[in-house]
Amino acid sequence: MTRRPRIGITLGMDEAGRRYQLKRAYADAVLAAGGLPVLVPHGDGSVATLYLAECDGLVLSGGHFDIPPERYGETRRPSCGRTQEARTDFEWGLCQAAMASGMPLLGVCGGMQLMNVVLGGTLWQDLPADQGLHHEQPEPKDLPSHPVEIVPETLLARLVGAAPLPANSTHHQAVRAPGRGVLISGRTADGVVEALELPDAPFALGIQWHPESVVRHEPRHAAIYLGLVEAARDRRR
């Protein structure tokens, strides 16, 4: 039997700090794309590179927490949400190592924001307070709520096509200034960054929405995880 590419997926944690957690849609999307999900907890940062050694690709998942503003040189304001310092520390190291090694990397929602901050970029701490914009849709959060305008001739365009892509929206922070080497490849009509990528990497893509959940309403989103798994397969070869 041909070995499936192993795709690491970072885990969240409940508010009590007692249970790791992950929405099933992440693992289902990796499986449907031909990969094998490998769940990556963040309890011990010293073993982060050991997880990467067992994986062919990596998904930085999202969650209900914010990246500490101090990480991008700002003072925390009241509108900034709760943070998870241990998770951010762990995923920061994972992200740096994955980028350095050329490992196929997909950042989803907060994972995209982390990619940008690791590369020296900044975030809007709160879109409603900072820009008067609201990108946190009510339930059900898997329904498309706005189109993403895709920049032609980018990795994202090659994956899903250049036509506007209906996407879901569940975030109150967003990329403000892009980091080093970051190409913005998707925005909403109000100018909010919805996708970024690293053109010099084999596969490094960040997306602000959740393709693994909205795919049931718009099949084009499946190409994102298919692209990740195919890049992981190529890297293993």
Which of the following is catalytic: 172, 210, 221, 230? 210
Q: Are 176 and 121 in contact (CB under 8 A)?
A: yes
Three-class SS of residue 70?
helix
Among residues 109, 146, 171, 172, the one annotated as catalytic is 109
Q: Is 109 labeled as catalytic in the residue annotation?
A: yes
Q: How many Cα atoms occupy the beta-carbon half-sphere of 118 within 13 Å?
A: 23
Is there a catalytic annotation at residue 172?
no
Q: Are 122 and 176 contacting, i.e. CB atoms less than 8 angstroms apart?
A: yes
Spatial strand order in the sheet of 183-187 = 36-40, 6-10, 57-60, 105-108, 204-207, 193-197, 183-187, 146-150, 165-167
Q: Give the separation between CA 31 and CA 9, rounded to whole angstroms.
A: 12
Residue with tokens 């339930």: 139
Give the distance between the most distant pair of CA atoms in the chain.
54
Q: Which of 91, 212, 221, 230 is flagged as catalytic? A: 212
Residue with tokens 């950042």: 107
Q: Any idea which residue has 């919805």 for tokens? A: 194
| Of 99, 105, 89, the residue nearest 47 (C-alpha) | 89
Q: Confirm whether 95 is a catalytic residue.
A: no
Angstrom CA distances, 169 to 18, 87, 136, stand at: 28, 23, 6
Closest C-alpha to 32, from 217, 235, 216, 237: 216
Catalytic residues: 109, 210, 212
